[in-house]
Structure 1
Amino acid sequence: MTETPQDPVEAALRLRASDADREKVAGLLRDAYAEGRLSPVEHEERLAEVYAATTYAELVPVLHDLPVPPGVLTLPGMSNAVALTQPAQVAVPGTGRGLSVDPARADQAQGVAIAVWSGVERRGAWVVPETQVCVAVMGGIELDLSEAVLTARETTFTVFALMGGVEVVVPEGVAVRMDAVGFMGGTAGPADIAPPGAPSIRITGLAVMGGIEVKRPKNKGAKAISGS
């Protein structure tokens, strides 16, 4: 049986980080704090994570939403900067596509979807803001994130559906938290669990005689759970 070649980036991330690596990342956090990108609490929390990190896989995530110049932090045996310095890719099993996270594209995001006696549909490589607002009044909204570009590791969808429906397709490997409630309506989301450190989608809001549903692409077989 032929063994599957190991991803060189994944293998490098498992290597142990040095004191010099930790100090380099700590310096980037101090710069971000001085520029007002991190609050005092965030700065202290991330510094604690840095000094507790033993591998690159534990060290890299603390910089996930900060602008890191290419080449500042490199992986052993690789000439390119770690994936952190570029949009992070989240693989979608069974396809050649992926959902990416790129904070630098926040100004390109489409932040509001409104359907009143009408419909709204977004697919392909559209840019999703950190907070997405959806309003469906006797209409429908369909948002497919399979090839979308997120602008934050944690994205919140604030949804209101009145005698209408909102459907969000979220690829495998992305966490989903359903906090929306239904009043004479319903909410549902996938029950599967995403891997640690995965980007997350939180759904909050209200469905009145309507529905809010989050599902995986092409019904991969994940069971649905009620969020109400």
Structure 2
Amino acid sequence: MTEQTRPPRPGEPATPAAVPGQDVLACEDDRERVVERVRVAVADGRLPLDELDGRLTRVYEARTLGELRSAAHGLPELGPKDRLVVDRTPTSRFALGLFGGFRRDGAWVVPPRFTAWSMWGGGRLDLTEARFAAQETVIRAVALWGGTGIVVPDDIDVEVRGFGLFGVFGRRGAHRTGRPGAPRVVVKGLALFGAVVTKRKAN
């Protein structure tokens, strides 16, 4: 005899319907996608900051997709503009300012390795609206009698390792936000009689 489900009595919570695949084991990519949803929800003010640790604990302790869905309860799905790391072809991998200048800004896709040369010229890399093709990006910046400015948003991790020889390799934009799942950018290279300056987006 087929068992019939009775309707819930007054005041009794309804039994949630089973979701196909909820017992499938979760992988690290599944967890990182939910971590990114948590990060965006905190940045948008949807999720109070004092709930962040509890949410992340549930995400990283989740073993199945069903447990991950529970940890993400109430959080909106990410739209294309919310994802900082995307599976898309990079816009460009190299920039050269030779007796002139270059500029990369707007909604461009940064490759895992990007090289910028400024020789008797200048250039600007603006990452504030960019998306990244990898979780970690390395920017090699070389300025020879020239200059390169790199503008970074506030919600990514930035490390500056460059060296200035009779020049400046600025580290004003180097910082670690500590936000889980944020992309990481490493700026390294050489400024010889020139300057490479990394700074945060102006408020």
Q: Cα distance 1:81–1:113, how it changes in 2: closer, same or farther (>3 A)?
A: same
Residue among 97, 111, 124 paired with 1:129: 111
1:57-206 to 2 correspondences below 5 Å: 58=60, 75-76=69-70, 83=78, 89=82, 100-102=84-86, 104-105=87-88, 107-189=89-171, 190-197=173-180, 198-206=182-190
Q: Cα distance 1:146–1:72, how it changes in 2: closer, same or farther (>3 A)?
A: farther
CA contact (8 A) 2:23 2:66 kept: no
In 2, Cα distance between equivalents of 1:26 and 1:150: 19
Structure number with the bigger relative contact order (C-alpha 8 A, sep ≥ 6) is 2
Q: Cα distance 1:79–1:193, how it changes in 2: closer, same or farther (>3 A)?
A: closer
- 2:27 equivalent to 1:25: yes
Q: Could you tell me which residue of structure 1 aligns to residue 42 of structure 2? A: none
In 2, Cα distance between equivalents of 1:27 and 1:157: 25
In 1, Cα distance between equivalents of 2:177 and 2:108: 22
Q: Cα distance 1:78–1:166, how it changes in 2: closer, same or farther (>3 A)?
A: same
What SS is found at the alignment partner of 2:27?
helix
CA contact (8 A) 2:159 2:175 kept: no
Shift of residue 217, structure 1, vs aligned partner: 1.3
Q: Which runs of 5+ in 2 are unaligned?
A: 1-21, 31-55
Q: Cα distance 1:202–1:173, how it changes in 2: closer, same or farther (>3 A)?
A: same
In 1, Cα distance between equivalents of 2:113 and 2:99: 24
Shift of residue 89, structure 1, vs aligned partner: 3.2
Shift of residue 140, structure 1, vs aligned partner: 0.5
Residue among 53, 58, 66 paired with 1:55: 58
Name which one, 1 or 2, has greater alpha-carbon Rg.
2
Equivalent residue letter for 1:24: A
> How many percent identity over aligned positions?
28
Shift of residue 155, structure 1, vs aligned partner: 0.6
Q: Cα distance 1:20–1:124, how it changes in 2: closer, same or farther (>3 A)?
A: same
In 2, Cα distance between equivalents of 1:108 and 1:200: 16
Q: Name the TM-score, length of structure 1 as normaliser.
A: 0.57
Q: Cα distance 1:72–1:179, how it changes in 2: closer, same or farther (>3 A)?
A: farther
CA RMSD between the two structures: 3.4
Q: Which runs of 5+ in 1 are unaligned?
A: 1-18, 29-52, 61-70, 91-99, 221-228
Shift of residue 195, structure 1, vs aligned partner: 1.9
In 2, Cα distance between equivalents of 1:156 and 1:27: 22
After superposition, give the CA deviation of every residue in 1:137-187 in whole Å (9 maximum; x if it has no partner).
011110111111111111100111100111110010211111110110011
In 2, Cα distance between equivalents of 1:88 and 1:154: 19
**Aligned structure 1 segments of 4 or more residues deviating by more than 6 angstroms:** 79-82
